Amino acid sequence: MSENQNIESCPYCSGKHKERDEEEYKNLMNRLKRIEGQVRGLEGMLENKAYCTDILMQVCAVTSALNSFNKVLLANHMKTCVAEGIRKGDDSVIDEFVLTLQKLMK
């Protein structure tokens, strides 16, 4: 199965796609790889019977990294997808953006 088939069949995806420039792609991937490493670190801490507060502090770091990832992705989305839709007269991007913000702020 190709990568595009995985995206298209993803039950969590909208079915829309976005071409990212190389810099944005690398930035986001690097952030995700660091987060992945932090999560693996949590697994190791648990396996090594680390103290509760030490694990909680690491969870805080992962949460902060995910929030930072979201902020960067959201800013990129506003500057590209939303702005482009508005320039084309597609006001539905505003409704979609508001709905996304509402979901993020739960």
pLDDT in tens, the chain (106 residues): 344 445 556 777 778 888 999 999 999 999 999 999 999 999 999 999 999 999 999 999 999 999 999 999 999 999 999 999 999 999 999 999 999 999 999 8
Other beta carbons within 10 angstroms of residue 96's beta carbon come to: 17
At which residue do the structure tokens 């590209």 appear?
A: 80
34 exposed, middle or buried (CB, 10 Å; 0-12, 13-18, 19+)? Answer: middle
Q: How many residues comprise the chain? A: 106
Buried b vs exposed e over 36-66: b needs ≥16 C-beta within 10 Å?
eebeeebeebeeeebeeeeeeebeeebeebe
Question: How high is the pLDDT of residue 9?
Answer: 63
Question: How high is the pLDDT of residue 8?
Answer: 54
Q: Give the distance, in angstroms, between the CA of residue 61 and the centroid of all CA atoms in the same chain.
A: 16
Question: How high is the pLDDT of residue 3?
Answer: 45
Question: How high is the pLDDT of residue 1?
Answer: 39
The contacts of residue 92 (CB under 8 Å, 6+ apart) are: 85
